Chain A
Amino acid sequence: MDITTHQYKHCDLISVKGRVDSYTAPKLGEAFENINAAGRYKIVLDLSGLEFMSSAGFRTLLMAQRTCKRYNRGEIVLACVPKRTMEAFELTGFTPLFIYFPDLTSAVGNF
């Protein structure tokens, strides 16, 4: 799994390529934590390159969203979520926890 990040004026972008599972999810968690450590809590997660995500990834997203939304200081929005992952979100009731965008431009523009 590869993670790239980019800082915009109003938010940060994390792009994930590959597979998020129990082995790689901690690395994604660290990416969120690094951005939060800099006092930034508005994040776009780009999943256009995501091939697979297990519940380990869901947990990482859940915990990161809790941190970002605390004190109304920000949130994580999801861009380009693959169909299989959307289906798993729906199955586990995750859908209402995030806002979804079909592309990066609208996701970043949201902030």
Chain B
Amino acid sequence: MAVCNCPMRTAIFDARFESLDAIREFVAQAARDAGFDDVNIYSIQLSADEACSNIIEHAYKGDPDHIIECSSTVDQGNFVLIFKDHGCCFDPEIVPEPNLSGKLEERSIGGLGLYLIHHLMDEVKYESQGEAGNVLTLKKRLAA
């Protein structure tokens, strides 16, 4: 099993869609350093993009004068990404499963991002901290 004594890295990004490039680069570098291959690096980037897009759109309702705090670390064989925002409470349980097999006209417009995160990462934990905001933790097992 790959062992990595990785201190937690944290970066702060403006909560704007323009920041997604930089967010993806931050997580890609962390994933690369943790020893993931290209396929997994892409999955991790995609998950991070979807998570932050949701924060910008739903937690902050598109108001750009906010920040997203992204942290990465390795903990007990897992690559861990933590996203913190100070936006409004978001309950992922109320997001319906997207329609993935219907006719073109029946397909979901929403819910795809959350679906991707759940299927690309091994663990997804969402915590609301009330007025203080939300914490989203994503984990992916390191290669054996």
Binding site for B on A (CB under 8 A): 19, 21-23, 52, 54-56, 58-59, 62-63, 65-66, 69, 84, 88, 91-93, 97
Report if B69 contacts A (CB, 8 A): no
Binding site for A on B (CB under 8 A): 16-18, 20-21, 24, 39, 42, 45-46, 49-50, 53, 56-57, 98, 100-101, 104-105, 107, 109, 112-113, 115-116, 119-120
Q: What does DSSP make chain A's interface, helix, strand, loop or mixed?
A: helix
Query: Chain A's nearest CB lies how many Å from the CB of B126?
Result: 18
Given contacts A84-B39, A92-B98, contact A66 B116 (CB under 8 A): no
Q: What does DSSP make chain B's interface, helix, strand, loop or mixed?
A: helix
| A92-B115 in contact (CB<8A) | yes
Given contacts A23-B20, A58-B112, contact A97 B107 (CB under 8 A): yes
| A55-B112 in contact (CB<8A) | yes
| B24-A52 in contact (CB<8A) | yes
Given contacts A54-B50, A58-B112, contact A69 B104 (CB under 8 A): yes
Cα distance A88–B115 in the bound complex, in angstroms = 11
Partner of A88, one of B17, B57, B98, B116: B116
Contacts of B98 in A (CB 8 A): 92
| A91-B119 in contact (CB<8A) | yes
